[in-house]
Amino acid sequence: MGGKFNCMGISNSRKSAVKNKYLEITEEVNALDFLEKAYFFISQNKIKTINWKWISIALHGALYGFAICMLKGTNYERVINESNNRLISFDEAIKRCQRPKYVKMTTISKELVLNHKQRESIRILKDLLRNNFIHYIPSNWSIEIHGCPNVAIDILSIIKFLALKSGNYLSLSDAQKKKVEFYTDNGILILKNNKLYKESVSE
């Protein structure tokens, strides 16, 4: 599935001296971009409190994106909801990643296995953080953020599995795979050196 769109509302058939320039994106590029943005905010020398908003949004996008990539294989229709012809939801994607019948495409395919802590981190990321940031209800909202590094560490570990260890076909070049490994591994190291993380594990 794909297509070309024009953000300026001008017909592509209109003659112009300006050469059309397109943003070209695939599901893998989209997921990797979210991961890169998450790493960017994680890697700041001192993570500003407001940056946890952007880390949460970007990690959610990366997790959802790589879950879709893992489930898609070589046929995008695997991740389309037959009832409405739309992409399956975040919750459905994570659920399917854990079920062999949706995952087994090669002889080395592995389903996602989550422990209780990882499940809770996904719930916090989606329901408490990302959804409230994206669908912000006018209010004076205050959230204790010592747990954010732990959540981010769990999510980065899951992303690494989906992108690099599931055994399914993802259209990632060797350079892109190295980026995934760099962003996840170094992101985790940075988060474990974060003051919030150190204070949370010392309690």
Residue 102 CB neighbour total at 10 angstroms: 20
**Distance separating the N- and C-terminal Cα atoms of the chain:** 50
pLDDT of residue 201: 87
- Tell me the two tokens of residue 151: 């959540």
Digitized pLDDT (tens) for each residue of the chain, 203 residues in all: 666 666 665 555 555 678 888 888 999 999 999 999 999 999 986 778 999 999 999 999 999 999 999 999 888 999 999 889 999 999 999 999 999 999 999 999 999 999 999 999 999 999 999 999 999 888 888 889 999 999 999 999 999 999 999 999 999 999 999 999 999 999 999 999 999 999 998 76
Handedness of CA 139, 144, 145, 151 (dihedral sign): negative
CB 187 within 8 A of CB 156: yes
CA-CA distance, 6 to 22, in Å (whole number)? 9
Contacts of 104 (CB under 8 A, 6+ apart): 111
* pLDDT for position 15: 54
Residues 6+ apart with CB under 8 A from 160: 180, 181, 184, 185
Q: Side chain identity at 167, as an amino acid letter? A: G
Give the residue carrying structure tokens 């979210």: 34
- If DSSP codes are grouped into helix, strand and coil, which group holds residue 114? coil
Which token pair is 156? 């980065």
CA distance 170 to 92: 19
Gap between the Cα atoms of 148 and 144, Å rounded: 9
Which pLDDT score is estimated for 90?
A: 97
